[in-house]
Structure 1
Amino acid sequence: MAHISDCRSVELRTVYDHRGSISFVESGRDFEFPVKRVYWTYDVPSRASRAGHAHRKLLQLYIAISGSFDVHLDDGVNQSVIALRHPNEGLLMSPGIWRELRNFSSNACLLVLASEHFDEDDYIREHAAFMQWVQEGRPT
């Protein structure tokens, strides 16, 4: 069973010097899945929320490459909020977790590295349907 503790904050490797900083991740070193899709979300109004869904199989790495936002996690029993505030912080997202993104700063940009190509069938877009899926033992 998926648990919110399966999602974990990660500090991205970063090189600092007088010219600025560079942070980076490598598939197979910093996270275990191959990257098949990359997307980013930006220009989100501060009072808006994004996501509001769960995935059955998809693994993701969230990175706040600019600005900040909160990731609200729900495994069907437990809830938690993880704040992403700096571009050298990431959040590894496990499947089977409901997520909502809130409290976007004016310059927030979320970069997502995903383990699979887009598949609408992998999404659970209604929280009631998510809770039913959890009660059924999270069938694939």
Structure 2
Amino acid sequence: MVFKKTSNSVYDCSIIEFSTIENREGSISIIENDISIPFAVKRSFYIYDIPAGKDRGAHAHKRCHQLLVAACGSFEVEMDDGKSKRTVVLNRPYFGLHIPPGIWAAEKGFSGGSICMVLTSEKYDEHDYLRDYEQFKQYVRGKDSFNG
């Protein structure tokens, strides 16, 4: 008998618009655990001083959800679920891209001065990473079905 395991697709990755308060002194965007994003943040970091046009990322996670925000500047995120690919552009600090586990993601084409803020559902765990694309494809194929 074959059972289907749930696996995420690139179409499960979603753009989230944050609540924003605007006035003449500037704007504030609000990100709240389990309210404006679908997980509680356990880790946050940001990537900066990326030379214009360079790439980052190129890995997947087994359990960790991520939220990517272009806090400054712009970049593209290429997503791959092993079957389909999708690219989105992040260029506004009030939008975030939610990437669930099992999606290969690569950040590309950074504009000069970009800052990529990342919020995650898990603390850092090297064993959660899939850093080799061929291993990622094997992992995804193994999640599609199994014999029970």
Q: TM tier, shorter chain?
A: over 0.9
Q: Verify the 8 A CA contact 1:96 1:138 in the aligned structure 2.
A: no
Structure 2 unaligned runs (5+)?
A: 1-6
Matched, 1:122 2:121: no
Runs of 4+ in 1 over 3 A off after TM superposition: none
**Which of the numbers 20, 36, 40 marks the counterpart of 1:34?**
40
- Normalised by the size of structure 1, how large is the TM-score? 0.95
The answer on whether the counterparts of 2:41 and 2:120 sit within 8 Å (CA) in structure 1 is yes
Alignment of 1:74-89 (within 5 A): 74-89=80-95
Q: 1:35 aligns to what SS in structure 2?
A: coil
Alignment deviations for residues 40-91 of structure 1 (CA, whole Å, 9 cap, x no partner) = 0001112321011000000111111100000000000000001000111110
The equivalent of 2:4 in structure 1 is none
Q: Greater CA deviation, 70-79 or 45-54?
A: 45-54
Q: Residue 71 of structure 1 aligns with which residue?
A: 77
Amino acid at match of 1:23: S
Taking the aligned partners of 2:113 and 2:98, their CA distance within structure 1 comes to 22
Give the counterpart letter for 1:6 in structure 2. Answer: D
Structure 1: tracts of 5 or more residues without a match: none
- Give 1:1-140 correspondences, 5 Å limit: 1-137=7-143
| Contact 1:54-1:130 within 8 A present in 2 as well | yes
Q: Give the partner amino acid of 1:86.
A: R
Please give the alpha-carbon distance, in whole angstroms, between the structure 2 residues aligned to 1:113 and 1:124: 18
For 2:93, what is the secondary structure of its paired residue? coil
Distance in 1 of aligned mates of 2:78 and 2:46: 18
CA distance in 1, matches of 2:108, 2:38: 27
TM-score, normalised via structure 2 length:
0.90
Greater radius of gyration (CA) = 2
Q: Alignment length, in residue pairs?
A: 139
- Preserved CA contact (<8 Å) 2:16 2:37: no
Give the whole-Å Cα distance in 2 for the aligned partners of 1:88 and 1:75.
26
- Same amino acid, percent of matched pairs: 37
